């Protein structure tokens, strides 16, 4: 069988699984947003962590709480240049997921991305496991600040009170928000189909969340992931290509 045949067959299987499922949850990562122009972290060529040094430090180190406390100026420079891409727009995958939710085919999106693109596409039940760049708070007085204040700042962005404005993203060495984690655990516990896509599934919070899951696991990614051994179905391909083929199939149930 040619690769193309197996791709089509896998898409047919996914279509059937989604239609048969009671609760489907989408668990996404940086690969969902690469087609919107945002870099992922671990892709061999273009991943942010493959830059050996950024501003003299390994990028993983820059995105840690410890580093933020010691060198906030470097962290903000990296953050504004590499992570904060306010011009990015939702892509086909974001819109397909929004449509699936509207049609009752998707219960929730759990995303490791902090880019807010699912919300901008119109999805309603989105759980930001690693925070959101649109929530920015003064570390001293707790005042909320618009994302543009951070995007347009130079050096360390400061509140009127002089405190540092901290983007609401989860850094290494920090635990994700307990309320969000609780909601994610609830969604994973009640779903019978989980689609993990555009994620290497390498960070520990993803592992902890998905390990207890006993339902059907589908992985969509153009590279191997840490949970491939556990998956019921693996679809290799680009997100846009997979979701456009899936959308075409799902839409037929409504004609
Ligand atoms: P990774 O960069 O680890 O994984 C993204 C995966 O998506 C890779 O395996 C790519 O091959 C795949 N990919 C990229 N573009 C794709 C496309 N168009 N179609 C299909 N697959 C594609 O990113 P995450 O798993 O999201 O955390 O990383 C998890 C966390 O690690 C991030 O949220 C971030 C990072 O450290 C924090 O910053 C706290």
Ligand 1 centre from 121 Cα, in Å?
Answer: 20
If one residue of 34, 40, 58, 129 were mutated to test the ligand 1 pocket, choosing by the most ligand atoms within 8 A of its CB, it would be: 40
Q: What confidence score (pLDDT) does residue 129 get? A: 97
Q: What confidence score (pLDDT) does residue 4 get? A: 63
- The label of the residue with tokens 């846009």 reads 240
Ligand 1 centre from 30 Cα, in Å?
Answer: 4
33, 113 contact by CB (below 8 A)? yes
Output the tens digit of pLDDT for each of the chain's 255 residues. Answer: 445 669 999 999 999 999 999 999 999 999 999 999 999 999 987 899 888 777 889 998 999 999 999 999 999 999 999 999 999 999 999 999 999 999 999 999 999 999 999 999 999 999 999 999 999 999 999 999 999 999 999 999 999 999 999 999 999 999 999 999 999 999 999 999 999 999 999 998 898 999 999 999 999 999 999 999 999 999 999 999 999 999 999 999 987
Q: Which atom of ligand 1 is nearest to the CA of 42?
A: 2
Which residue has a Cα nearest atom 31 of ligand 1? 203
Ligand 1 centre from 253 Cα, in Å?
Answer: 31
Q: What confidence score (pLDDT) does residue 222 get? A: 94
Report the catalytic residues: 130
Q: What confidence score (pLDDT) does residue 1 get? A: 40
Which residue has a Cα nearest atom 33 of ligand 1? 112
Q: What confidence score (pLDDT) does residue 56 get? A: 87
Q: Among positive and negative, which fits the CA dihedral 224, 227, 230, 232?
A: negative
Q: What confidence score (pLDDT) does residue 3 get? A: 52
């Amino acid at each position: 069988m040619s690769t193309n045949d197996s791709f089509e067959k896998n898409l047919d299987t996914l279509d059937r699984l989604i239609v048969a499922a009671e609760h489907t949850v989408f668990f996404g990562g940086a690969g969902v947003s690469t087609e919107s122009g945002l870099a992922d972290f671990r892709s061999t060529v273009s991943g942010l962590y493959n830059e050996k040094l950024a501003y003299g430090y390994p990028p993983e180190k820059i995105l840690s709480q410890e580093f933020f406390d010691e060198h906030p100026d470097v962290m903000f420079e990296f953050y504004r240049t590499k992570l904060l891409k306010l011009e990015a727009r939702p892509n086909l995958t974001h819109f397909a997921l929004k449509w699936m939710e509207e049609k009752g085919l998707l219960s929730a999106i759990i995303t490791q991305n902090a880019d807010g693109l699912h919300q901008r596409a119109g999805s309603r039940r989105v759980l930001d496991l690693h925070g959101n760049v649109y929530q920015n708070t003064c570390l001293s007085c707790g005042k909320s600040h618009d994302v543009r204040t951070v995007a347009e700042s130079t050096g360390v962005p400061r509140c009127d009170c002089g405190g540092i404005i901290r983007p609401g993203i989860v850094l290494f060495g920090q635990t994700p928000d307990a309320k969000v984690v609780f909601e994610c655990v609830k969604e994973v516990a009640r779903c019978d189909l989980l689609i993990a896509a555009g994620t290497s599934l390498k960070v520990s919070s993803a592992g902890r969340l998905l390990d207890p899951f006993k339902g059907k696991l589908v992985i969509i990614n153009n590279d191997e992931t840490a949970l491939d051994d556990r998956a019921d179905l693996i679809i290799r391909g680009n997100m846009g290509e997979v979701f456009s083929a899936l959308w075409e199939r799902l839409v037929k149930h409504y004609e």
